Amino acid sequence: MKNINEFPQDQIYQLWKSTEAISSPELSKRKRGFESLIEFDVVRRSPLIAYLLATRIVEPDLT
């Protein structure tokens, strides 16, 4: 399993943009950010991103 720092630089940029998107006021942007983070499987690699996702998972619009 890769550590988050082992991702290519362009993917790290995308990971942080996706992380930023999950706090957007726009539902579609939050959904895309959430899906992107799950696709990258970054939750197991970054405690910070795991925490941010865990605090957003109770949002009814994302389920």
Q: What is the pLDDT of the chain when averaged over all its residues? A: 83
Within 10 angstroms of residue 45's Cβ, the number of other Cβ atoms is 17
Q: What is the pTM of this model?
A: 0.72
Confidence band (pLDDT; 50, 70, 90) for 53?
confident
- Rg from Cα positions in the chain: 11
Map out the domains of the chain as residue ranges. 4-62
**Largest Cα–Cα distance of the chain, in whole Å?**
33
3 state DSSP class of 38: helix
